[in-house]
Structure formats: structure tokens, C-alpha cells
Amino acid sequence: MSSVLPASALTTLPPPPRTVHRKLGSGCGINFLRLFILPHTLIGIALLVAIPINLYIQTCGRPVTATVDKLDTHKSSKGKIYYRVHYHFTLDARRYDSQDSVPLDTWNRTHAGDAIAGRAASVFGHALFFSAGPFGGPSVLVLTGFALFWNSIVGVFFYIAWIAPIRQRLLVKYGAAAPGVVTGKHVIRGKNTRYKISYTFASRNFGKQSGSCTVSRSMYDAAQADAPCTILYNSEKPRRNLAYEFCDYRVTSG
């Protein structure tokens, strides 16, 4: 059955706000992606929070000397070996025990009883230690660079999993409707083949506009050049638009 509605479909859409539901079977991939990026998103947030904490301890923390207690190794489930240094330090007359994973060469140069100069501070009820050497975490500059790198990658997936679907739903719920015409379709080949539909429409205040959307293979096969379609768009920013027949949501009532 064709996925493209006739020209009269435009008149069947009620005025906004509309009652919107996701089309049956269209949210499986999005839900999987949301679950997949959840732990990565939490790590990204933790990295951003760690930057001011790191800066606070290194600039305002009290000078302390930590003592190495022992060294050992830990093998992960994937077979990677972590070289760990266990140490303790005293802050406000209280002893704190901690540990850090260090590079192999640092681990080989470290011995029980070694003294490590650094700074420590109590943050959220826990004492943290940072040294000028390899213990106590990375520098603020290194941590900031890694946090930006990590969150820039996670941000792409977060946009796909959350921002784009929310924007699409809001357009279907509140968007202005206009008749559109399919102008073409093309395949983007690569690791994951994508199918895109292009269209044009006339917005109320900004004249002729164009847009495109990624669709399933079945929708791509059903779409025909010059076929009418219904466009929903942001009346103030018409470049934010979608073709109703090809989106992941459907209008059930006014």
C-alpha cells in the first residue's frame, strides 16, 4: 500500500494542537538507542561535573602527603590489565584510603612506602586527592579536553535519540500545514544505506521552501516524484519542517 496520501489529505488534519501518537513499530530503534546512550550520557555529565571539582581541589585543596600502601593488578573481563596503586592520606585528622590506575612504567617505579605530595579537599562528604604526578586524576586541561571530546560524540547520538524525535512530534502537534510536492528521492550509500525524500512547499509568510527527510525503504519505494504531500512546519522558522506522510507520528484527533 502506498505511503503517500492524496492531495485532499491536507484538509483532514485538524488545526493545532493535535493529538499525536507514534506510528506502530516506528519507535523500536529509537528506544534501543536511548537505552544504549544512557550510561554514556551519565558518564558525560560526570566528566563535566568533575572539571570544577578537579579545579577546586588543585587550587584550593590543602597540601597533604599520601603514602603508598601496596601495588596490585586487576584484569578486566575483556582481558585488559590495570596497574593499581593503593595509598592513604590524612585530612582533618582523618585517614582516607584510595587507589588509582597508573601506566605500567609508573607502576614499576612505585614502591610501598613512597610519599606522594599533593592536595586534598572534602567534596560532597568524600575526600579527594590530587598530586602533581601520576596520582589523583588528570589535570584540568586534560580532563576538559576529554570531557569535550566525549560529550561531542554522545551529543550526536543524543540529538538523534531525543532532540530530533521531540522536534518532529512538536511539528506534528503544533505545526502549520501546507500542501507540498515530492521533488525527488535519492539513496545515500555507505556503511548504513539511507533513503531520502525531497519536497517543496509554500509557507504562509516566507514563500517557497524546500526540505528533505530520511525514510524507510518501503516509503522510499512508494514515493513518486511530483506526488502531493502534506507539510507541517514552524510558521516562524519554516526551515523546520517535515512531510507528514513520511514522519514517525500520526494525528488521531483534534
CATH (domain of 192): 2.40.50
Q: Which of 90-94, 97-101, 250-254 has the lowest mean pLDDT?
A: 250-254
pLDDT at 166 over 60: yes
Mean pLDDT lowest for which of 24-33, 74-83, 105-114?
Answer: 24-33
Do 113 and 54 belong together in one domain?
Answer: yes
- Judge contact between 213 and 245, C-beta under 8 A: no
For residue 63, what are the domain limits? 40-147
pLDDT of residue 1: 37
How far is the CA of 248 from the CAs of 76, 123, 166, 169, 182, in angstroms?
41, 45, 11, 8, 18
Task: Answer yes or no: is 216 within a domain.
Answer: yes
Q: Both 73 and 126 in a single domain?
A: yes
Mean pLDDT value of segment 46-52: 93
Q: Model confidence at 137, in pLDDT bands (50, 70, 90)?
A: low
Residues 230-240: tens digit of each pLDDT: 999 999 999 99
Do 186 and 241 lie in a common domain?
yes
> Would you say 143 and 50 are in contact if contact means Cβ atoms under 8 Å apart?
yes
- Give the whole-angstrom CA distance, residue 53 versus residue 75: 29
Give the CB-side neighbour count of residue 201, counting CA atoms within 13 A: 30
Report d(CA 163, CA 98) in Å as an integer.
40
Number of domains into which the chain is organized: 2
Residue 32 lies in a domain: no
- The mean pLDDT value for 3-14 works out to 54
For residue 114, what pLDDT is reported? 95
Domain presence at residue 166: no
Longest dimension (CA), the chain: 82
Position 3 confidence tier, pLDDT thresholds 50, 70, 90: very low
Domain assignment present for residue 124? The answer is yes
pTM here is 0.73
Same domain, 65 and 130: yes
Asked if residue 76 is part of any domain, the answer here is: yes
| 30: in domain | no
Q: Is residue 96 part of a domain?
A: yes
